[in-house]
Each structure stands twice: as structure tokens, then as C-alpha cells.
Amino acid sequence: MKIDLHTHILPESWPDLKERYGYGGFIQLSHPAQGRARMMKDGKLFREVDPNCFLPEARIQEMDATGVSVQVLSTVPVMFNYWAEPKDTQDLSQILNNDIADVVKKYPTRFVGLGTLPMQAPELAVQELIRCKKELGFPGVQIGSHINEWNLDAPELLPIFAAAEEHKCAIFVHPWDMEQGGRMKKYWLPWLVGMPAETTAAIVSMLFGGVLERFPKLKVCFAHGGGAFPFTVGRIEHGFNVRPDLCAVENEVGPREYLGKFYTDSLVHDKRALSLLVDVIGKEHVVLGSDYPFPLGEHHPGKLIESMEEFSQVEKDNLLAQNALNFLGLDRSLFEDKDHKKSPKKARIS
């Protein structure tokens, strides 16, 4: 069994947001011809996407081809819209979350949903988190690596983490809003360098800020193999020890004490990196994540894990499926022996 925790999906369509909210800056999906669609921002092309980004039937065909039993669906981070008016982000979050819920309802043995929240307005975020958990049946939510000017240790965010812990709602942290101007313009640096830096900053902020100390039952998973954290943890710990006046101002517990208390996905694209990641984070706390359906993802989800000779079959099974089930608080029986009995009709290419 393979459970891919890190995949993104969009609705096939949604309302004109500029018309709905009265100002621009939002992404719209345009279908000018058969096949690929265009993500447009204020009339300019942001990115082209294939039908597998918005048609669940296309996704299932590719899942079957690569042996993926279940995808965990979350929105594309550019749709977070934390910069917008809170009520508008709340409204759009509900549109996106309802669409994911519809996909899960249609194919309950193939998909699991993660919600998105208006994180810039913690009271509204808590309301939507509870709705995602209680009404939509989502086991978790996806949030950004920072919320505008707040890192994830911001006191304003604590009520959200408290609600997540109380309602047993897992949190998947995805990097976003990387620096893209100036010297970062070339070589795809925001995605290749900026994203790992964002994830590392998110982890360190939560650890140094005492978030996991305050909420010990909170389940958090960081995308992209935890960014640079597994490979710089020695530097981070050393800094914590030699400059406690700068690093230990919110929490006196060292960063290594939290290893084995949070999760990362497996998306590192390198055998040696995966070996170190599992060694640092723990064999029970790394989950399969591919970043499907985007180019930087693992195009054959789980292939790297399966290729690791040093991992036993039990360890591989944990990395490919069981760890994700544990993180989400779900039972394997929900998906076992059912996921391939009903194949969808061939995907409609719009």
C-alpha cells in the first residue's frame, strides 16, 4: 500500500474572485482549449496545469499506473491567500475545502482531504478547522510556512494550534511566499533554495518558540523532507547552546529533544538524503510525499523508498503507508482491499 500525503488539487472551476470580492490578486483557472488549463492572475499567466490537477479521474488513472493506493489532497499553496481580507479568505477556503470534500465523497477509498484555513484571522481559522474536522470529515489541514509577517511561533497562532490539538486535527506545513525578486530571480532559486529555507525556518520557529512544548499531542508534518533541517540540525543545536540569549528566549528545551515528535515527508530525490532524513527524524515519522502533480515532485511516488536496500520491508511499509495513517489518525482497513475494485471511467479532458 502507498499513501501519498503530499499532493495538490484545484477545483475544475470556481467563481470570479475579483468580481466576488471587489479587488484583484487572486488566481483563476481558465480552460481555453482541450487539455491543459491556465492558472491566471489578474489576466496574466501564472502557470499551466494538466487535467490531473483538477480531474480526480485523471489522478486515479495515474495512481493506478504508479501503485498509489491513496492520495491526501490539499490545495495549491498559492491559493492560501493570507494577504486578502480575512472574510474573503474564509469564503475561498470554504469553496476549496468543499470541493475537496466532494472528491473524497465520490472516491472515499482513494482520497483523503486536508483543509485550508484563513490563518491571518485566527478566530476564523479555528472556525474553519472545526468545520473541516466535524462537517467535512478531514483528518487534518494544510498551512503555510509563515502567515504574512508571522512565523509559526507567533502568539496569535496559538489558538489555532490549541484547537488542532483538541480536535485531533493533523497539520501539514507547506512552504510558500518565498523571496522571488532581486538575486533570486534566476535559476528557479525560489523553488530550489527558497522552499527548503522556508520549511527550515518554520520548523525552527515552532521548536524554539515552544509550540510543540505547549501542545505535546499536536501532530505536525513538514513538506519536502523538512527542508534543510535534517542536514543543519547540528548547526541549529550548536547555535541554541552557544547563544541561548538569542535562541532559547522562548523555550529552554533543545531542538534535538523534539526529534521523533514531528513528521516530515520523504521528498528529497536522493538516496543519501533519504537515509539521513530517516535517521534524524525517525523511521516512524517520515511519510511518503510526492508533491503530485507538479514537476518538482517524485514522478513515481515511493520509488526512492522502495529502492533503499538498507530499509527492511516493514520499514518500507511504514514509510509508504503506515506512518501516514498514524499521522492522520486513520485505520488501514478504510482503504485496504477496496481501493481498486471500482475503476472510474476514463478521465474527461476538458
For residue 348, the 8-state DSSP code is P
**Cross-sheet strand order for the sheet of 220-222:** 3-8, 70-74, 111-116, 140-144, 170-174, 220-222, 263-265, 286-287
The Cα 307–Cα 303 span in angstroms is: 6
Vertex 112 angle, CA 176 and 151, to 5°? 25
- Identify whether the C-beta of residue 230 lies closer than 8 Å to the C-beta of residue 280: yes
The Cα 292–Cα 254 span in angstroms is: 34
Q: What is the pLDDT of residues 282-340, one digit of tens each?
A: 999 999 999 999 999 999 999 999 999 999 999 999 999 999 999 999 999 999 865 45
Structure-block grid coordinates of residue 4: 501519498
Look at 139 and 185; give whichever has higher pLDDT: 139
The Cα 273–Cα 266 span in angstroms is: 9
Please give the domain boundaries of the chain with CATH numbers for all domains: 3-16+56-334 (3.20.20.140)
Q: What is the pLDDT of residue 350?
A: 36
Give the mean model confidence (pLDDT) for residues 180-189. 91
> Is the pLDDT score of 185 beyond 50?
yes
**Residues near 155 by beta carbon (within 8 Å), at least 6 away in sequence:** none
Lowest mean pLDDT among 3-12, 181-190, 335-344: 335-344
For residue 250, the 8-state DSSP code is S
- Which letter, b or e, does each residue of 289-316 get, where b requires 16 or more Cβ atoms within 10 Å of its Cβ? bbbbbbeebbeebbebbeeeeebeeebb
Q: Confidence class of residue 10 from pLDDT cuts 50, 70 and 90? A: very high
Q: What is the pLDDT of residue 337?
A: 62
